Structure 1
Amino acid sequence: MRAIQITAFGGPEILIPTELPEPAAADGEQVFDVVAAGINYADTHQTEDSYLAKQQLPLIPGGEVVVRDASGQRLLGLVGAGGYAQRVAADPARFLPIPDSVSDGQALASLVQGVTAWHLLRTSTHLQEGETVVVHAGAGGVGTLAIQLAKRWGAGRVIATASSEDKRALTLELGADVALDSRTPDLKAALREANGGRGVDVVLEMTGGTVFDQSLDALAPLGRLAVFGMAGRAPGTAVEPSKLMARSTAVIGFWLMHIATRPELMSAALTDLFTLISDGDLRPIVGETYSLETVIDAHRALLDRSSVGKLVLDPWS
């Protein structure tokens, strides 16, 4: 089979297609054809070995896949690694059926990004009706869905940030009330100004560094900042407990792997997301589809922030 297998950690340049033996199924596993795989920002960390979970070589990147079973049913699931390949060996219990009304790209947008957006708002920050929500990287996979979900669940105001005019226009189209340039030097002042001079209630943050610092400073009393990524690869920021106490604010970490270990939490989010998509009430933004030969370009687009929406890999094209 054809796949991307890396034997050394590094940047996009290491993503070279190769011929590999068919995967062998361990006890309780089956070998599935990969119909499509998700390309995530976390994959760029995986290939660098710079994320929370340490990786081992050799490695086939990619943690989310759409597969097809013997009956032809499309299934969606997390596999940890092995997604950038034509076939994968996995436990069938990892997968959930995809409704016919949901496309492969929409399903992949729902898994990592959709479940993350759903639980950031529902479980991590406990969004309340009327609150102001800041969505950083609003044109990305998580951001585009978080904007829509926040508005649907009663946010009084949604403030999105994005790095280009086209991306900011997309966030407004999806329901954001204000779209700010993410490169604004005084982000704290810009967020407060966009909220009528008041602090904001909820921030979804995945960059780190000064974006984290200024977002934390922009919180209103009882505000919550949820961290779900470190795209800026900036050094960690120390948070003084007294600073949190001074305005009763909270910093909450989120890693999807902890949701993945709780099947009921995964199922609740995906069932709701699939229903919303099928009913036309949620619009996943599916970006470009890449082949094994061009997946290097997908990683470059993620790293230079030129990508929009959910990126998809077709290992058979």
Structure 2
Amino acid sequence: MRAIQITEFGGPEVLVPTELPDPEPGPGQVLIDVTRAGVNYADTHQAENSYLAPSSLPMVPGAEVAGRTPDGRRVVALTSGGGYAERTAADPAMCFDIPDDVSDEAALALIVQGATAWVLLRRTARMDPGESVVVHAAAGGVGTLAVQLAKAFGAGRVIAVASSEAKRKYALDLGADAAVDSAAPDMTAALIEANEGRRVDIVLDMVGGRVTDESVRALAPFGRLAFYGMASREAPKPVQLPNLMRFSTTVGGMWLPHAWLLPGEVVDQAMGELLAMVSDGRLRPVLGECYPLSEAHRAHEALRARGTIGKLTLDPSA
């Protein structure tokens, strides 16, 4: 089968097209003929071995696929790797039937990025109706969904942060109430200004570094920052615990694989609600470019350059 294999760690250049034997499903696993593979920012960290979970070589990357099972079911699935290929194996508990009125690409936007946005709002930050929500990287795969979900869940004000005027306009079109330049010299002041002079209740942050530090300082009493990535590849300063008490604020982390450990409790709830919202038009996944499988490196280049909007996918047939 055609696949992308990594034999040395590094940047996008290590994603090499190759021919490999079909995977052998393990006990209880199901083989999936992949029609589309999803690309996530975490894949770029995995390729250079800077992810939370260490990688081992050789490796076929990719944790999400849409395709057909041997019995003809059309599913979207989470995998433990091997998604950048024509075929992959998955745990049936991590396979979700795709409704007829939902495309493969839309389903792929939900399985990791949609679930991430859902867990951040429902579980990590536990958003209450009327609260203000800041979404960093608001034009990305998670961000475009988080903006819409925050509005659908009753946020009082959604503030989108993005790196270009076009991305900020896109977030506003998705329902954000205000938009902030990610290069703002003082993110604390910019977020408070965008919230009409008030400190913010919730921040969803996958940037890290200065942005995280200054976002924490923008939190209102009992405000929460949910940290789920470090796209800047810059570590924020250590949180000073007395400051959390002093300002009654909370900083929490979220890594989606922990939700996968409890699929019936978290992932099933998330996917059930997300797929229903797409089916009835309350949620619109933003679909980015679909790259030929052989050009997976281009998808990683675009992600690392922060030049993308919406969900990126790979076509194994091209």
Place the TM-score, normalised by the shorter chain, in its bin: over 0.9
Query: Counterpart in 2 of 1:271?
Result: 272
Moved more, 90-99 or 154-163: 90-99
Q: Deviations over 1:225-244 (max 9, x none)?
A: 00011111113420011111
Q: Deviations over 1:249-295 (max 9, x none)?
A: 00010000010111121010110011110001111001000112211
1:25-104 map, 5 Å? 25-104=25-104
Q: Does the aligned pair in 1 maintain the 2:119–2:270 contact within 8 Å?
A: yes
Aligned amino acid, residue 266 of structure 1: V
Query: Counterpart in 1 of 2:291?
Result: 290
Instruction: Report the CA distance between 1:300 and its aligned residue.
Output: 0.6
Query: Counterpart in 1 of 2:301?
Result: 300
2:199 is the alignment partner of 1:173: no
- Work out the CA distance in 2 between the residues paired with 1:270 and 1:31: 21
Instruction: Report the CA distance between 1:168 and its aligned residue.
Output: 0.5
Which runs of 5 or more structure 2 residues have no equivalent in the other structure?
Answer: none
Q: Does the aligned pair in 1 maintain the 2:223–2:248 contact within 8 Å?
A: yes
Query: Counterpart in 1 of 2:4?
Result: 4
- Work out the CA distance in 1 between the residues paired with 2:113 and 2:223: 23
Query: Counterpart in 1 of 2:228?
Result: 228
Instruction: Report the CA distance between 1:115 and its aligned residue.
Output: 0.6
Q: Does the aligned pair in 1 maintain the 2:78–2:90 contact within 8 Å?
A: no
Instruction: Report the CA distance between 1:101 and its aligned residue.
Output: 1.1
Aligned amino acid, residue 18 of structure 1: T
Q: How many residues align?
A: 317
- Work out the CA distance in 2 between the residues paired with 1:179 and 1:284: 20
Distance 1:72-1:29 versus aligned 2 partners, 3 A rule? same
Aligned amino acid, residue 180 of structure 2: L
2:114 is the alignment partner of 1:114: yes
Q: Does the aligned pair in 1 maintain the 2:31–2:69 contact within 8 Å?
A: no
| Secondary structure at the counterpart of residue 33 of structure 2 | strand
Moved more, 211-220 or 66-75: 66-75
- Work out the CA distance in 1 between the residues paired with 2:80 and 2:239: 31
Instruction: Report the CA distance between 1:26 and its aligned residue.
Output: 2.2
Query: Counterpart in 1 of 2:316?
Result: 315
Q: Deviations over 1:142-194 (max 9, x none)?
A: 11111111111111111001111111110000000111110111111010011
- Work out the CA distance in 2 between the residues paired with 1:157 and 1:312: 31
- Work out the CA distance in 2 between the residues paired with 1:213 and 1:89: 40
- Work out the CA distance in 1 between the residues paired with 2:109 and 2:168: 20
Query: Counterpart in 1 of 2:159?
Result: 159
Divergent runs of 4+, >3 A: none
Instruction: Report the CA distance between 1:16 and its aligned residue.
Output: 1.5
- Work out the CA distance in 2 between the residues paired with 1:262 and 1:122: 15
- Work out the CA distance in 2 between the residues paired with 1:293 and 1:129: 45
- Work out the CA distance in 2 between the residues paired with 1:127 and 1:205: 15
Query: Counterpart in 2 of 1:218?
Result: 218
- Normalising to structure 1: TM-score of the pair? 0.98
CA RMSD in angstroms, aligned pairs only: 1.0
- Work out the CA distance in 1 between the residues paired with 2:217 and 2:184: 15
Q: Does the aligned pair in 1 maintain the 2:30–2:90 contact within 8 Å?
A: yes
Query: Counterpart in 1 of 2:209?
Result: 209
- Work out the CA distance in 2 between the residues paired with 1:150 and 1:244: 24
- Normalising to structure 2: TM-score of the pair? 0.98
Identity %: 57
Q: Deviations over 1:97-148 (max 9, x none)?
A: 1111110011000111101111111111111111110000000011111111
- Work out the CA distance in 1 between the residues paired with 2:94 and 2:277: 22
